[in-house]
Amino acid sequence: MLLMRSTISSPPTLITSLHRLSPLSKKSLSPSLSFPTSPRPTSLHTSPTMNFLSRLIPGSKPPTQAYPSDPSSSIALKPDEDIPGPGQQFAQFGAGCFWGVELAFQRVPGVSKTEVGYTQGVVHNPSYNDVCEGTTKHSEVVRVQYDPNECSFGNLLDVFWSRHDPTTPNRSGNDVGTQYRSGIYYYTPEQEKEALESMERQQKLLNRKIVTEILPAKMFYRAEEYHQQYLAKGGRLGLRQSAEKGCNDPIRCYG
């Protein structure tokens, strides 16, 4: 994501951060349509820059400044209590920025619904800005609803492994932070078993240790509406990317 030009005087910390943007981020400094244009934060700690940026994201709310000792952690760490549609099952995957990951799963035949959100954290009902502060321990995930008669959990695992590098802790490409960690969050013992076996097979193909966490699915907090199906709706440039089943078009992760 990128910064919009503004007549507001930027604080020194913001100017400094602009000079440190990666080539990809610098490339993104172009006008936006109706989509959020702030860069995906990389800081793991609260900072004046992050608080300033949070005011530039449409539909966002200020960080709650919640910490691991917050009493709401008992709610956030409960199992996901949502119920999938009749004959459907849930699965959750964290593989970096959830925009591109969601589009990949949208294209899978047998997947009936996808949602992006936050999970595995210690704060109840976090906002995007809360998660980006790096104190809530949430992961950006895609919750996939699928028909097991049309799409196996194994098929979803194949998509998961293909979408990211599972050997980089708390990082996916240019996105750095605990919210971008690799994770498979299961709903049944069968999913857990299959995920572990799949990771063993994947490890034999790689020369670095896989850092993917495999944990029970916890409370799923649906992300802000502008994040949902972000790339299929056009992303930052308004250029829609196909979510048609079976589509193999390359995915532009930021639009």
Active site (catalytic) residues: 97
Q: Please name which of 176, 73, 150 lies closest in space to residue 119, comparing C-alpha atoms.
A: 73
Residues for the chain: how many in total? 255
CA–CA gap between residue 199 and residue 30 (Å, rounded): 39
Token couple for 43: 């800081």
* Rounded Cα distance, 229 and 115, in Å: 8
Who's near 111: CB < 8 A, 6+ residues apart? 105, 144, 145, 146, 151, 156
